[in-house]
Amino acid sequence: MTDGKLQRAIDTLKQSGVRITPQRHAVLECLLTSLDHPTADDIYKSLEEKFPNMSVATVYNNLRILREAGLVRELTYGDDSSRFDSNMNDHYHIICEDCGKMVDFHYPTLDEIESLAEKVSGFSISYHRMELYGKCDQCSMAKVQ
Ligand SMILES: [Zn+2]
Ligand SMILES: [Zn+2]
């Protein structure tokens, strides 16, 4: 299942003329399969063993290329802790305040909030993000014990 997704992503890159290096392939695979909304650092750490010569800058560079190809979304937080999401469908996020775990939350896109915002502010709205914060089931359980 995820193999199909990886293959489609690689085809997209090839079509936009992006060369598939082993490292780029690994970063992409990492995003699509093993990790959930990882930071560049998470990806770097999970590939460190396989690519001991790869730098964090290379990971960032690959993430930028993947983002420009429309394969990954960057969720910025005003510092260098951006998280990367390979789910390009519109969705919201629930984030654990204790461990930082981030899960997808599917809810009909709140289009009306964008049109209302445009009306009251005169802005032309491009997108919106919604994040719900709380404690994941594991962290809630840890508290009880
Ligand atoms: Zn948690
Ligand atoms: Zn997501």
Q: Give the ligand whose atoms come closest to the C-alpha of residue 139.
A: 1
For the stretch 12-26, pLDDT in tens is 999 999 999 999 999
Q: Give the ligand whose atoms come closest to the C-alpha of residue 133.
A: 1
Q: Residue 70 and residue 9: Cα distance in Å, rounded?
A: 9
For the stretch 59-108, pLDDT in tens is 999 999 999 999 999 999 887 789 999 998 889 999 999 999 999 999 99
Q: Which residues are within 5 Å of ligand 1 (an ion), measured at CB?
A: 96, 98-99, 101, 136, 139
Helix H or strand E segment including 73 = strand 73-75
Ligand 1 centroid distance, CA of 139 (Å) = 4
Tokens for 139, please give them. 């962290």
Q: Give the ligand whose atoms come closest to the C-alpha of residue 103.
A: 2
Q: Residue 45 and residue 34: Cα distance in Å, rounded?
A: 13
* Cα→Cα distances 97→38, 89, 91, Å: 16, 24, 19
Closest CA to 86 of 38, 143, 140: 38
Q: Is the pLDDT of residue 2 over 90?
A: no
